[in-house]
Structure 1
C-alpha cells in the first residue's frame, strides 16, 4: 500500500485539479491541520502544536449523515504546571527530552 494521497482540488467555479502528495495541511482557525495516510489504509489527522502554545487543539468528529461528518477544532488551555498526574504525559510523539 502507498502512503501517497490522491487529491482533487476544486475552485469556486468547479474547475478541478488532480494531484498527489504524502501529507497535506489546511490552515484552519490559525492552526495547521495535517492529513496523511499511515500506510495501513487509515487516514491520520492531527494539529501542530508549537513551542510555547498556551492551548491544545482538540479535533472532534461527529456523524451528520450516512456519508457526512463534522470536524470541529476546539482549543483547551494547556496545563503549564509541569509533569504531574493531571499535566503533560510524555508519549512516543512527545518532543520533550
Structure 2
C-alpha cells in the first residue's frame, strides 16, 4: 500500500485537475484540517493545534447515508497547565 493520496481537484466550472501528494490540508473554520493516508489503507484526518491555543478542536463524524458522512468541527476549552492527562504520541506535535 502507498501512503500517497491521488487528488482530484474540481473548480466551479466542473474542470478537473488530477495530482498526488502525501498530505493535504484544507482551511476550515480558521483551522488546518489535514488528510493523509497511513500506508495501510486507512485515511487519517486531524486538526493542527498551535502552541498557546485556548481551545482544542474535536472532529465529530456522523453517518448520514450508506456512503455519506457529516464531519463537524467543535472547539473545546483547553485546560491550561494540566499536562498530566496528556498522552504523548506521534501526532501530538510536542518535542519529546
TM-score, scaled relative to structure 2: 0.89
Higher relative contact order (Cα pairs below 8 Å, separated by 6+ residues): 2
Question: Is the 1:33–1:48 contact (alpha carbons within 8 Å) kept by the matching residues of 2?
Answer: yes
Q: CA deviation at 1:93?
A: 3.5
Are residues 78 and 68 of structure 1, via their aligned partners in 2, closer, same or farther at CA, if it must alter by over 3 Å? same
- Aligned-pair CA distance for 1:95: 4.1
Deviation string 1:33-68 (CA, Å, 9 cap, x unpaired) is: 000000000000000000000000000000001111
The Cα of 1:96 is off from its aligned counterpart by 4.2
Aligned partners of 1:85, 1:92: CA distance in 2, in Å? 17
Q: Work out the number of aligned pairs and report it.
A: 95
What are the ranges of 5 or more consecutive residues in structure 1 without an aligned counterpart?
none
C-alpha distance 9-37 of structure 1, shift in aligned 2 (>3 A): same
Where does structure 1 differ by over 4 angstroms across 4 or more consecutive aligned residues?
none
Q: Which runs of 5+ in 2 are unaligned?
A: none
1:83 touches 1:89 (CA, 8 Å); kept in 2?
no
